[in-house]
Structure 1
Amino acid sequence: MSPYGQRNEQGGYLQVDHVGDQESAYEEMKFHADLLIREHAEEHNYPLSVVNPSTVVGPRPTGETEQTGGIGLLIQAIQKRLMPVVPGGSSYWLPLVENDIVARTLVFLSKEADPAGGTYPLLARKEDSPNMKELLHLLAHELDVPKPKGAVPLPWIQWAMKSGGTRLTGVPAESVAFITNRSFPVEETEALFTRMGQSWPDIREQLPLVTADLDYRLRYTPLPEEVPADYIRSRSGNMAMIGWEGEGEPWIIVHGLLQSADEMLPLGEQLWKETGNPVWLMDLAGFGRSPVHQVDEAFEGQVGTLLKALDEFEGPVKLVGHSIGAAIVAAAQLRSGRTDIRLGLLQPVANNSNPNVLRWISRLPRGVMRSLLRLRSEKSWERMFSVYISGEDKKGMDHMIAKRIRSSLQSPRIAGANADLLRWIHSGKRGRVSSFSWMKEWADDHTNHTLVVWGKEDREYHYPQDMNSQVKRIDVPYGHYFPTFQYKETAAILAEWADTLK
């Protein structure tokens, strides 16, 4: 926003009018710093390259955006359904740039042998970027909330926020401070990118991942300190994933209901230590940091998203799923037609639920079920998970897990993804691939590469009656969430199974 990248007709710098309020004073101080360094460069005759980033978001491939200001403030407002209209309308926009683009630009300029200097605003042309209407519709779709209707002049919204709206909503006035109707001179930036040998990326490709990451981060409750911190974040297809690199066949692990890849970290680390193989934990579509899928039918959308992610893994893999994740990985394996996928099913869930209250709830409209999930108290979740933990494993984990579930379900996106799969499980509208009856027809060489681990203490689901009897089955004396709480035993079983496949 600094005006000092441009000159007036006399060749001098444009002047900034002083504005008395604190926010403008802060911005004005940054402008004066820009002017000071420019004047110093001219006085001492050294080349100066000034890089002015627009609103910065996370890099490719993950979109991980640690700074929750900027677009995060806008996402927070939409997440809370406090942005029912488009600020300013279609003539306004929010310039965005990924932080890896900023880093790459700085590195290139710092290494130029004969720098010419210049001013480089890091943003696309206004006409090539999503306007505010398109941007908010995209964000609303990803956050699973109604799209804003109509437009309101930006000064009205700024006035409303400063007149008590911020105090009432908890969303700061700065959430609209980055929105502008200006166009910026980008000719020097485009020439720089030509020298760098790259073109400006379309931010639309990255926005779904940025949105999911910020949505999750804004609702994030940190895991206990003993959870590993040396994992890396990556992405496959359109699925966010975390894990560890290693040697040999990779493990791909897909979580179940009410969870994300983060809850599988203890299992993943233990498996990585025992095998030395790469281990990747995937977020299902709409869960954790993965964007929502683009298919109306919940199960089909999840299977399709996983198939695209699997396409990026060449060669044999060990594909493991828990709960509904087990049904998704099984269906994806069948659809893929690949014979190099070894299948591990932990407490598989499809058409094998026991009669309980969820069957009744699943018949309610989607919005009602989603609201019931969001309104369920932390104490209620804690009581539910306390039965899965005992002895030394307890250590407040039931409280921590309950807090994380309650927190994450305040995201309409995550609550909606859980509601959709719960409704699929309990509605009875399942196709051939979504149950396990197809496994009866599998050849022996397939069943020999499949393992089912079943917790006998599960009260919500029974062992799938249509599972192929030749599939190797190991029973453990635990409940439904044993991969989360009895992760050492689970990792040992999986590692031993892997040894038999060699």
Structure 2
Amino acid sequence: MNLFLTGGTGFIGQQVLTKLASQRQHRIYVLIRDSERFAQTLRKLQVEDASSIIPILGDLSKAQLGMSAADRQQVLTADRIIHAGGPMNIQLSQADAERSFLQPIVELAALASEIQRTKGLKQFIHLVGFMSPYNGQNFMQDHDGAIEDMPPYERMKFQADLYLRKALHQEGIPLSTVNPSVVIGDSFSGMTEQIGGLSILVDAVRRNLMPLAPGGRSSWIPMVHIDHAASFIANLANEEEAKSNTYYLLDSQRNSPNVRELVERMADELRMRRPVGSIPLGVLKPLLGTRIGRRLGIPAESMNFIVRTDFPVDTKLELEEQNGGRTTVVADTLPYVIADLDARLSHPGVDRERGSYTQRRRSNVVVLEREAPGTPVIFLHGTFSGAACLMPIADALEGSPICLVDLPGFGHSPLHRHASVIDGYVESVAALIDDFDRPVILIGHSFGALIAAKVMERVGSRIDKLLLMQPVLHPARRTYKYAGVTKSVLKLLSPSALRRTLLKTNDFTSPSPLMDQYVRHVMDDLRSPRIRAANAEVMAALTQPENVSLQPSTWDPGKVRILWGTQDRTYEIPASFRHLDTTFIPFGHQFPMEVPVQAVDWVKGSLTFSTD
């Protein structure tokens, strides 16, 4: 079957494309604006066979969708059209919203009519939104004023919905209108690449702007996981006998948390205070439309996603019953959604920095992975760091399978819930290793090296080699004993103060562009109260001798190596560890970030040494 897909590089569209391509039963014409960006999308999605995917250069905002005459002839062979294109920007102007939503629908309706007259169009699938007032029963009625007071973003989307319903009804073309609710991350990994929607609420909570929950206990935010939405649309495109229908992708209200419960869950995950009460939307929305609201940075339009009504889900459930799928929000995945959005808000554009690495969840942590044959090499970062900080070292290990871990509470991983701070990290990494079907090479820096060593003491048979870079082998300074104090200090820390501290303690031995890069990473990280809390609590735990206790006399010296920076003014190697193979370099505690080339040479050499 021939399909024509718009929005194939967008948040929902690229997932729909992946699902359809994996079925290997369609020729898929994909409207794109940029060939290179589309090639990057296919590489990121790891589409195994792209031979059935035909890119069509064009632009939704242009006449005849900006397609060449030759490309239009190809598209006219489509049996089904899936329109998933359009920006996620609730603050679009009237002109931009009309150009983004209404004009493309006029062009697509004309295209659908031409296909219908020449060969017949089996189905048009249109993604709209759960707030649209139109459905298959009321679209022919008089709707004067129904959407007049809505913001341009919603008004133009819903006007496009109404226009298409009328145009296709006149042509006798089956129209499947899909109304996604607020689309959140993958149902397992929680990864949410689109900043918008739920991230507005996450950002408000983490900036302590939610002392009162908007709308209260009678209000809720309908949500759907991105992979569930994509599977539903792909299944809909495979229906033998398509019929006109409207499908709401959301749970029923009784099976969803209310707004206050959702904000409380976010506050817990972000380590912020829970709301002490509620504020009616009728009071909050006008306030957000004032200068005060603009200063807070919370668009008044974002409150439109908070509703008090339920929505009909019978048609959705009927199709799911036929195909065996479900679009229910997975409560256990919400912490991963929240942590991922929190990390993306702190580090805008993070996806562009990942190169060949794929973000995924393994066990209860989020990792960046590069697949290859051989023994997996797992990297554990230290405090004031994250998975991406060790990427320069991992990049140099060409041909090796790499797993860069965001430890719980850091990066994109949610906090662990273990009663013991340190044991929670050890158990998380042990569970991660169990997720692999073979022994692994474990590399840790600083606190990550301490966790790596503790994991080896627990699951030694699963560790092929253990490489420790500047491991924490004795208690940290008592300065960090009180986590609450440290959190407050970190909240007020300035880039210049951080630079001075790094040089004073010899963490970095001299100023450099790499030090500036590290400072930017840390300062971005510390915008997150979740990550500030993780750093403070780990540092407090490291001041306790029992938490850094190890049994090096039981280790196999043939599989353990240490790389030590002699300029470290905070930590040293206790005598009980000096029987282990140790290489010394003239740098400080953060040498993997200051001189990654030194660490690379040592790691490469260590990976080849025999453990016999």
Q: Calculate the TM-score normalised by the size of structure 1.
A: 0.89
Q: Does the Cα contact within 8 Å between 2:438 and 2:462 map onto a contact in 1?
A: no
Mapped pair 1:134 → 2:261: yes
Q: How does 1:100-111 map to 2 (within 5 A)?
A: 100-111=227-238
Q: How does 1:3-402 map to 2 (within 5 A)?
A: 3-5=133-135, 7=137, 12-13=140-141, 15=143, 17-18=145-146, 23-220=150-347, 229-271=355-397, 273=398, 276-336=399-459, 338-353=461-476, 358-360=477-479, 362-364=480-482, 366-385=483-502, 394=512, 396-402=513-519
Query: Could you tell me which amino acid in structure 2 is paired with residue 418 of structure 1?
Result: N
Alignment-derived partner of residue 406 in structure 1:
523
Relative to structure 2, which stretch is displaced further, 382-391 or 473-482?
382-391
2:549 to 416, 422, 435: 435
Query: Could you tell me which amino acid in structure 1 is paired with residue 495 of structure 2?
Result: E
Q: Secondary structure at the match of 2:484?
A: helix
Relative to structure 2, which stretch is displaced further, 149-158 or 75-84?
149-158
RMSD: 2.4
Query: Could you tell me which amino acid in structure 1 is paired with residue 145 of structure 2?
Result: D
Relative to structure 2, which stretch is displaced further, 115-124 or 105-114?
105-114
Give the Cα–Cα distance (whole angstroms) in 2 for the partners of residues 152 and 224 of structure 1. Answer: 36
Give the Cα–Cα distance (whole angstroms) in 1 for the partners of residues 144 and 456 of structure 2. Answer: 62
Structure 1, unmatched stretches of 5+, are: none
Q: Does the Cα contact within 8 Å between 1:216 and 1:289 map onto a contact in 2?
A: yes
Deviation at 1:6, TM superposition (A): 5.0
Mapped pair 1:484 → 2:593: yes
Q: Secondary structure at the match of 1:130?
A: coil
1:457 to 567, 575, 581: 567
Q: Does the Cα contact within 8 Å between 2:133 and 2:146 map onto a contact in 1?
A: no
Relative to structure 2, which stretch is displaced further, 241-250 or 159-168?
159-168
Q: Does the Cα contact within 8 Å between 1:261 and 1:281 map onto a contact in 2?
A: yes
Q: Secondary structure at the match of 2:367?
A: strand
Relative to structure 2, which stretch is displaced further, 11-20 or 474-483?
11-20
Alignment-derived partner of residue 422 in structure 1:
539
Q: Does the Cα contact within 8 Å between 2:390 and 2:592 map onto a contact in 1?
A: yes
Q: Does the Cα contact within 8 Å between 2:187 and 2:333 map onto a contact in 1?
A: yes
Query: Could you tell me which amino acid in structure 1 is paired with residue 393 of structure 2?
Result: L
Q: CA offsets per residue over residues 79-138 of structure 1, 9 Å max, x none?
A: 011101222222211111122222222222223332223211111111111221221111
Query: Could you tell me which amino acid in structure 1 is paired with residue 165 of structure 2?
Result: R
Give the Cα–Cα distance (whole angstroms) in 1 for the partners of residues 486 and 553 of structure 2. Answer: 34
Query: Could you tell me which amino acid in structure 1 is paired with residue 598 of structure 2?
Result: E
Deviation at 1:177, TM superposition (A): 2.2
Deviation at 1:312, TM superposition (A): 0.7
Query: Could you tell me which amino acid in structure 1 is paired with residue 554 of structure 2?
Result: E
CA 1:161–1:221 in structure 2 vs 1: closer, same or farther (change >3 Å)?
A: closer
Q: Secondary structure at the match of 2:395?
A: helix
Alignment-derived partner of residue 95 in structure 2:
none
Alignment-derived partner of residue 493 in structure 1:
602
CA 1:341–1:14 in structure 2 vs 1: closer, same or farther (change >3 Å)?
A: farther
Query: Could you tell me which amino acid in structure 1 is paired with residue 481 of structure 2?
Result: R
Q: Does the Cα contact within 8 Å between 1:74 and 1:176 map onto a contact in 2?
A: no
Q: CA offsets per residue over residues 127-168 of structure 1, 9 Å max, x none?
A: 111221221111111101011122222212212212333133
Give the Cα–Cα distance (whole angstroms) in 1 for the partners of residues 228 and 132 of structure 2. Answer: 20
Query: Could you tell me which amino acid in structure 2 is paired with residue 251 of structure 1?
Result: V
Q: Does the Cα contact within 8 Å between 1:270 and 1:487 map onto a contact in 2?
A: no
Give the Cα–Cα distance (whole angstroms) in 2 for the partners of residues 206 and 14 of structure 1. Answer: 42
Deviation at 1:202, TM superposition (A): 3.0
Deviation at 1:350, TM superposition (A): 4.0
Relative to structure 2, which stretch is displaced further, 378-387 or 210-219?
378-387
Deviation at 1:208, TM superposition (A): 0.9
Query: Could you tell me which amino acid in structure 1 is paired with residue 493 of structure 2?
Result: R
Q: CA offsets per residue over residues 218-251 of structure 1, 9 Å max, x none?
A: 11166899x6622211111121111311110000
Query: Could you tell me which amino acid in structure 2 is paired with residue 283 of structure 1?
Result: D
Q: Secondary structure at the match of 1:202?
A: coil
Q: CA offsets per residue over residues 29-68 of structure 1, 9 Å max, x none?
A: 2212111111122111111111111111222443222222
Give the Cα–Cα distance (whole angstroms) in 2 for the partners of residues 120 and 498 of structure 1. Answer: 54
Deviation at 1:2, TM superposition (A): 0.9
Give the Cα–Cα distance (whole angstroms) in 1 for the partners of residues 278 and 429 of structure 2. Answer: 38
Q: Secondary structure at the match of 1:73?
A: helix
CA 1:264–1:53 in structure 2 vs 1: closer, same or farther (change >3 Å)?
A: same
Identity %: 33
Q: Secondary structure at the match of 1:177?
A: helix
Q: Does the Cα contact within 8 Å between 1:352 and 1:462 map onto a contact in 2?
A: no
Deviation at 1:25, TM superposition (A): 4.2
CA 1:146–1:285 in structure 2 vs 1: closer, same or farther (change >3 Å)?
A: same
CA 1:19–1:111 in structure 2 vs 1: closer, same or farther (change >3 Å)?
A: closer
Give the Cα–Cα distance (whole angstroms) in 1 for the partners of residues 493 and 153 of structure 2. Answer: 43
Structure 2, unmatched stretches of 5+, are: 1-130
Relative to structure 2, which stretch is displaced further, 323-332 or 146-155?
146-155
CA 1:342–1:80 in structure 2 vs 1: closer, same or farther (change >3 Å)?
A: same
Deviation at 1:199, TM superposition (A): 2.3
Q: Secondary structure at the match of 2:209?
A: coil
Q: Does the Cα contact within 8 Å between 1:267 and 1:484 map onto a contact in 2?
A: no
Q: Does the Cα contact within 8 Å between 1:221 and 1:407 map onto a contact in 2?
A: no
Give the Cα–Cα distance (whole angstroms) in 2 for the partners of residues 224 and 68 of structure 1. Answer: 12
Q: Does the Cα contact within 8 Å between 1:130 and 1:204 map onto a contact in 2?
A: no
Q: Does the Cα contact within 8 Å between 1:4 and 1:14 map onto a contact in 2?
A: no
Give the Cα–Cα distance (whole angstroms) in 2 for the partners of residues 19 and 112 of structure 1. Answer: 32
Q: Does the Cα contact within 8 Å between 1:6 and 1:13 map onto a contact in 2?
A: no
Give the Cα–Cα distance (whole angstroms) in 2 for the partners of residues 16 and 440 of structure 1. Answer: 81
Q: Does the Cα contact within 8 Å between 2:228 and 2:326 map onto a contact in 1?
A: no
Deviation at 1:345, TM superposition (A): 1.1
Deviation at 1:174, TM superposition (A): 3.0
Q: Does the Cα contact within 8 Å between 2:224 and 2:329 map onto a contact in 1?
A: no
CA 1:18–1:481 in structure 2 vs 1: closer, same or farther (change >3 Å)?
A: same
Q: Does the Cα contact within 8 Å between 2:473 and 2:573 map onto a contact in 1?
A: no
Deviation at 1:302, TM superposition (A): 1.5
Give the Cα–Cα distance (whole angstroms) in 2 for the partners of residues 376 and 25 of structure 1. Answer: 40
Give the Cα–Cα distance (whole angstroms) in 2 for the partners of residues 101 and 194 of structure 1. Answer: 14
